Amino acid sequence: MGSTLQVMDSRAQQLIAPHGGTLINRVATPEQQQKYVESSSHLRRIRLSERSFSDLELIAVGGFSPLTGFMGSDDYHGVVETMRLKNGLVWSIPITLPVSAELADTLEIGETIGLEDADGTLVGILDLEEKYSYDKRREVEQVYRTSDEKHPGVRVIYEQGDVYLAGPVLLLERRPHPLFASRQLDPAQSRRAFAEKGWRTVVGFQTRNPIHRAHEYIQKCALEIVDGLFLHPLVGATKSDDVPADVRMHCYEVLIEKYYPLDRVILAINPAAMRYAGPREAIFHALLRKNYGCTHFIVGRDHAGVGDYYGTYDAQYIFYEFDPADLGITPLMFEHAFFCKRIGGMATTKTSPSGPEDRIHLSGTKVRAMLREGVQPPPEFTRPEVAEILIAAMRQPSG
């Protein structure tokens, strides 16, 4: 048994290094957990939003390596203005803990603060090192490229508190996900899983939507050049009109079972909250998957976009702003894919001479209308098994 573990550890060491070189672990030991639970009645406590709780989890398990806590002002301003941390590492999205100015005034630097989830349960600890005000308009203009409050990410910033708290954190307990415990792999676990399969090259795929034929096509193109696919759907906070995570996960599982080589795909949840920050979030998603052990990352059409705030391929162009060595993960960039009637298969404009009349393309509005009416989109657009799951979900009476 010992020699087997040594082989696995050796293989794991051959995987891509985490961002910054070290996989962070800020999950409390049993002794730390007992200490803080016993003293919890003496701690001042802050209730976390759904996004902040997701951020706490990802800091603690190493998904946000090299971060060990919520960002201080130097890192924050570096990220907003230059997409780099104070130490020079690339980082594109601020990871911050907002509170009201009134609450911030009651907190003392050096204080240990309890962090609560939505139910009021103590889930984490913050050692407060700094509290600072910030320019909301500057942040949204830089990070989201718009100050329009209709943008869902911008709206979150405008509605949150005016002061950020900073300092290292501890997650008191790593809980099983209430819906997807069997699909919960933290970075150390995904890296071990890749090593056990002997994968040296792994492509990550970010999604918050059901996978249609276009997504399937680009994933399988990527699988031709790497050892494995890490299908890593986001299950944190999303827009209210996005397809619910449990419905999406059912779609992924059925699709993999019927249409993918099972030994070359791992499906696991990404607990992150969606920012809808387009280009900057594409960089963010890539670095997060690097921490999970991916060597490559798929960047498709309008990655992490919403509405018409970003150009179709802006999320690809942003990668050219960085030295590849600074990112340490290879983007695989794909154009919009479609079923081409002329060639009788999936294609993009890079591989097909067809015109628009030869392409099967349906708008999201049209697809949703078909599903609500119980009509399956054509199989060239989505696999029938996926359509059946979505029809059943969309025709359920709302609460």
Alpha helices in 47-86 (DSSP H): 50-61, 73-82
Whether 361 has a pLDDT exceeding 90, the answer reads: no
Residues 283 and 299 sit within 8 Å (Cβ to Cβ): no
Residues 292 and 267 sit within 8 Å (Cβ to Cβ): no
**Token output for 363:** 């708008």
Q: Count up the domains in the chain and report the number.
A: 2
Smallest CA-to-CA distance from 27 within 55, 62, 72 is with 62
Query: Are 356 and 233 in a shared domain?
Result: yes
Quick check: is 10 in a domain? no
Confidence of residue 1 (pLDDT cuts 50, 70, 90): very low
Q: Residue 171 to residues 21, 115, 391: CA-CA distances in angstroms?
A: 21, 9, 39
Domain boundary among 152, 171, 190: 171
Query: Are 186 and 160 in a shared domain?
Result: no
Quick check: is 9 in a domain? no
Query: Are 362 and 245 in a shared domain?
Result: yes
Q: Residue 43 to residues 39, 68, 198, 288: CA-CA distances in angstroms?
A: 7, 21, 46, 32
Query: Are 146 and 196 in a shared domain?
Result: no
Whether 25 is a known active-site residue: answer: no
Domain boundary among 150, 171, 192: 171
- pLDDT the model gives residue 399: 46
What pTM does this model have? 0.93
Whether 3 has a pLDDT exceeding 70, the answer reads: no
Domain boundary among 151, 171, 191: 171
Smallest CA-to-CA distance from 80 within 88, 69, 70, 91 is with 91
The mean per-residue pLDDT over the stretch 348-358 comes to 92
Whether 8 has a pLDDT exceeding 50, the answer reads: no
Look-up: residue for tokens 């919520």? 70
Domain span holding position 46: 15-171
Q: Are strands 228-233 and 202-207 parallel, antiparallel or unpaired?
A: parallel
Query: Are 330 and 355 in a shared domain?
Result: yes
Q: Using CA atoms, how far apart are residues 360 and 303, in angstroms rounded to an integer? A: 21
Quick check: is 110 in a domain? yes
**Token output for 297:** 């990352």
Quick check: is 321 in a domain? yes
Whether 275 is a known active-site residue: answer: no
CATH number at residue 334: 3.40.50.620
- Starting at the edge strand found earlier in the chain, the sheet holding 345-347 runs 345-347, 338-340, 359-360
92-125: per-residue pLDDT in tens? 999 999 999 999 999 999 999 999 999 999 999 9
- The letter for the amino acid at 304 is A
The mean per-residue pLDDT over the stretch 127-148 comes to 98
- pLDDT the model gives residue 397: 59
Whether 127 has a pLDDT exceeding 90, the answer reads: yes
User: Which of 5-9, 54-58, 278-282, 308-312 is predicted with the least confidence, judged by mean pLDDT?
Assistant: 5-9
Quick check: is 4 in a domain? no
**Chain Cα centroid distance, residue 120:** 25
Whether 60 has a pLDDT exceeding 70, the answer reads: yes
Active-site option among 11, 191, 208, 275 = 208
Active-site option among 25, 84, 155, 209 = 209
Query: Are 294 and 352 in a shared domain?
Result: yes
For the chain, helix, strand, coil in percent to 5 are 40, 15, 45
Smallest CA-to-CA distance from 72 within 177, 164, 204, 182 is with 164
The mean per-residue pLDDT over the stretch 303-330 comes to 96
Query: Are 201 and 167 in a shared domain?
Result: no
Residues 278 and 314 sit within 8 Å (Cβ to Cβ): yes
Query: Are 246 and 131 in a shared domain?
Result: no
- pLDDT the model gives residue 89: 98
Quick check: is 100 in a domain? yes
Quick check: is 3 in a domain? no
Query: Are 371 and 332 in a shared domain?
Result: yes
Whether 10 has a pLDDT exceeding 80, the answer reads: no
Whether 147 has a pLDDT exceeding 60, the answer reads: yes
Backbone torsions φ then ψ of 231, nearest 5 degrees? -85, 115
CATH number at residue 28: 3.10.400.10
- The letter for the amino acid at 128 is L
Query: Are 273 and 336 in a shared domain?
Result: yes
Query: Are 155 and 261 in a shared domain?
Result: no
Query: Which residues, 6+ apart, have CB-to-CB distance to 38 below 8 Å?
Result: none
**Token output for 97:** 């803990």
- pLDDT the model gives residue 2: 52
- pLDDT the model gives residue 4: 44
182-201: per-residue pLDDT in tens? 999 999 999 999 999 999 99
Quick check: is 140 in a domain? yes
